[in-house]
Structure 1
Amino acid sequence: MENDFQWELWNRLTQAPGAPGFEGSVRAIMREYIGAYTNEFVYDNLGSMLGVMRGDENGPKIMVAGHMDEVGFMVTRISDQGFISFQTLGGWWGQVLLAQRVQIITEKGAIEGVISSIPPHVLSEDQRNRPMDIRNMFIDIGVDSRAEAEQAGVRPGQQIVPVCPLQVMANPNRLMAKAWDNRYGCSLAVELAKELHERPGHPNVVYVGATVQEELSGMRGAKTAAAAIEPDLFLALDASPATDIPGVRDEGGKLGGGLLMRIYDPLYMMPLGLRELLISTCEQENIPYQYYVAKGSTDANVVQNHGKGVPSAVIGIPSRYIHSHASIIDRNDYEAAKRLLFSIVRKLDRATFASILPR
């Protein structure tokens, strides 16, 4: 079972609003926690933030980062009747949206709303047989006019986030919440900073924190953060789709099966030397892992191409139903990823780093 520190961290991170471009609340939490372990931070101008944990100054520079943003929405228009039109931020499938609760984050606070749905009684046969286009959906906040919505604080350009509290499920190893993609990575980054503070002496300099705007095309914060840090090696911490549910081809990613060893996605291949290091570490320390071939992408895709090239890997976990309101992870996968991350950071001295480069 998790300790009080870990549960509070998970709860605060998953419940914070942080759509792409609106990561301020998540950044404040990350700054608070990591700031307990270092007073040195590196920022880019988009909002990415990494604390600096100084071990051996002659060792490699290791960048370890989750991403702060979650898939969400943005207010685009208020109708005369007070209904809210919105733009998706990140990859959404329309069929997971209808009748779901959301919050509009205003200067006056969070406003509760629900995404429109039409009862089956009044749907035509044609409407019943085809999905609703996201462009035809709206958010109902329970008002009757634009003036009433504006008086409540709603304006175009504000972020909208899903609503789903952190819950322990029937199997107590399973945890449901919004935004495990990617508050998992944010949480693990905090835990790494805590580990390196409490057990100093790592053979490198570690930049640990989180990027912004990963869910938008281009993984924008990872690109600018890498330019600010100039890392020698990058470890992305990210959650990926579990494929252990009915109707999905099982390609790795079973809850409870261990961390995800992402060996390939359309824009990324794990470097051979780094892959061998990660796998041998898992096998030597009995850390459960699963090979994973992904259809999506992560911050590793852009950081690997920075400068002369940055060897990059993803230390991930599977999560059911990501890019929806409610996602599920397994504590054991989280612990496996944490064990590998802690171990590999302590192994990466200058000689080990040199050994993984293609020569």
Structure 2
Amino acid sequence: MEKSEFLEQLKELAAIQGAPGQEMNVVQKLVELFKPYADQVEVDHMGNLYAYMKGKKPGPTVMVSAHSDEIGCVVRDIDDRGFLKIERTGGMIESLLIGRKVNVNGHFGVVGVKAGHLQTPEERKRIPSIYELYIDVGAQSREEVHQLGIQIGDPITYISEIEQFTNSELICGKAIDNRSCCILLLQLFKALHSERDFSGTLVGVVAVQEEVGLRGAKVATYKVNPDYAIVLDTIPCADTPDSLNSGYPIGIGRGPVIPALAGGSIRGNLMSPQFKQLLIRYATELDIPYQLAVMTGATTDLAAVHIEREGVLAGAITFARRYSHSPVEVAHLRDFEQGFTLLTKLITDIDNWGDLGFIK
């Protein structure tokens, strides 16, 4: 994988607005990107993208998935003066919204902030709820907002382009969760399409609505009915001063993360021990550093994938990100490069996975 190409494609894809349930522009771009490398590309009525590739020999169907949506909001109301009230879709954090530039269905806007000169001492100490926040799109009335083409239910996302730190492989911006893994999946198809040096059928899935309940992944897994599945996603880390003593020793630049447990209670996943050991085995053989994680506060599409139909033997390869669900998510390019190497080896060596039964 060429890191420079990965970064340029990520910059382009992350800049496209794709809030949950309204990922159509992201999906349209991905269809264009996957077509040169896949045997077939299709999109279902939800917006899930499926890219198919046949290997040289017969074998199992392996689904590798990422999700296309980013955290966002929608327009909840429009007042007489043209200000927009909002509702969240996904893990938007009120304290990070205040004073931000946002994209409102393709139009520039800002999240308003009461001037400090007018705030009381009490107001300076509290964070307004999302129902107190509002967006200014430069309109003077509800009618002007409608003339812009903005309606109730329209998507709102951060404006924050992907940038690279000086003399570093660290990158920063919005929607690294999870456009980074969409591009990683694209790079896998690019690497395999000429030689087809693997057995079976590879199905690349880009699922919608992960941020609001893993909805697209459930539908996609039912459709594909894979023998095995690998979910690609980013995962929160704890390597900054405010989280070093959290008991969650995951950091950027330390290699891919294998989430042994992700998500609490019903909406979570305990990775099957046989798949966890498979990932560890290949990472060790390739001399790729890896991190094992137990993270109850976050989950991935794996939580939906592994319980579809009669149950799917599945695992996840994830990538640490700082400042999760913010406009300044930070990740390390080397982690994605190593994850790509691990993923490619897994797919091309599937004949040697061995017995993955629950009992031997």
Contact 1:203-1:348 at 8 Å conserved across structures = yes
| TM-score, normalization by structure 2 | 0.94
Number of aligned residue pairs: give it.
352
Equivalent residue number for residue 137 of structure 2 = 141
Q: 1:1-359 counterparts in 2 under 5 A?
A: 2=2, 5-56=5-56, 58-105=58-105, 110-217=106-213, 219-248=214-243, 249=246, 251-265=248-262, 266=264, 267-294=268-295, 295-349=297-351, 352=353, 355-359=355-359
- Tell me by how many angstroms 1:4 deviates: 5.2
Rounded Cα–Cα distance in structure 1 between residues aligned with 2:305 and 2:357: 16
- Map Cα deviations across residues 325-351 of structure 1 (whole Å, 9 max, x no partner): 1211101111111111111111223x6
Quote the Cα distance in structure 2 between the aligned partners of 1:204 and 1:39: 13
**Paired AA for residue 115 in structure 1:** V
Return 5-14 or 301-310, whichever deviates more. 5-14
Q: Tell me the alpha carbon deviations over residues 35-56 of structure 1, each in whole angstroms, 9 at most, x when there is no partner.
A: 0112413543311112111015
- Point out where structure 1 has 5 or more consecutive residues left out of the alignment: none
* Secondary structure of the structure 2 residue equivalent to 1:339: helix
CA distance in 1: counterparts of 2:287 and 2:112, whole angstroms: 49
> 1:5: Cα distance to partner?
3.2
Q: Which amino acid aligns with 1:255?
A: I
Whether the 8 Å contact between 1:103 and 1:161 is mirrored in structure 2 is yes
CA distance, structure 1, for counterparts of residue 147 and residue 16 of structure 2: 24
Cα pair 1:52 1:205 within 8 Å, conserved:
yes
Which amino acid is the alignment partner of residue 255 of structure 2? G
Distance of 1:102 and 1:343 partners within structure 2:
40
Change (3 A) 1:57 1:260: same
Residues 137/300 of structure 1: CA separation in 2 closer, same or farther (3 Å cut) = same
Q: 2: distance between equivalents of 1:123 and 1:311?
A: 55
Quick one: structure 1 residues 252 and 13, their matched pair in 2 at CA, closer, same or farther if it must change by over 3 Å?
Answer: farther
- Paired letter, 2:176: W
Q: Deviations over 1:149-173 (max 9, x none)?
A: 2222211121111011111113420
Q: Distance in 2 between matches of 1:316 and 1:346?
A: 19
Of the structure 1 ranges 243-252 and 258-267, higher mean CA displacement relative to structure 2 is found in: 243-252
Shift of 1:57: 5.7
| 37-46 vs 110-119, which moves further | 37-46
Return the letter of the residue paired with 2:152: P
* Cα distance, 1:346–1:2 mapped onto 2, change above 3 Å: closer
SS of corresponding position for 1:307: coil
Q: Which ranges in structure 2 are unaligned for 5 or more consecutive residues?
A: none
In the alignment, the residues of structure 2 paired with residue 180 and residue 144 of structure 1 have an alpha-carbon distance, to the nearest angstrom, of: 34
Give 2:16's aligned amino acid: A
Give the match's secondary structure for 1:239. strand
Per-residue Cα deviation, 1:134-161 (whole angstroms, up to 9, x for no partner):
1110101122211222222211121111
Q: CA deviation at 1:181?
A: 0.5
How far does residue 193 in structure 1 lie from its aligned partner after superposition?
Answer: 0.8
User: Residue 42 of structure 1 contacts residue 229 of structure 1 at CA under 8 Å; is this kept in 2?
Assistant: no
* Equivalent AA in structure 1 for residue 218 of structure 2: K
SS at match of 2:235: strand
Within 1, Cα distance between the matches of 2:15 and 2:247? 30
Measured in 2, the distance between the counterparts of 1:42 and 1:336 equals 29
- Give yes or no for contact 1:100–1:114 (8 Å, CA) kept in 2: yes
Tell me how far apart the structure 1 counterparts of residues 148 and 47 of structure 2 sit (CA, whole Å).
Answer: 28
Read off the aligned partner of 2:133 and give its amino acid letter.
M
CA gap of 1:250–1:339, structure 2 versus 1, over 3 A, is farther
Do 2:73 and 2:92's aligned partners in 1 also have CA atoms closer than 8 Å?
Answer: no
- Deviation beyond 3 Å, 4+ runs, structure 1: 1-5
Single out whichever of 229-238 and 245-254 deviates more from structure 2. 245-254
Structure 1, residues 237-256: CA drift from partner, whole Å, max 9, x if none?
A: 10111211121125132111
Paired residue type of 2:325? H
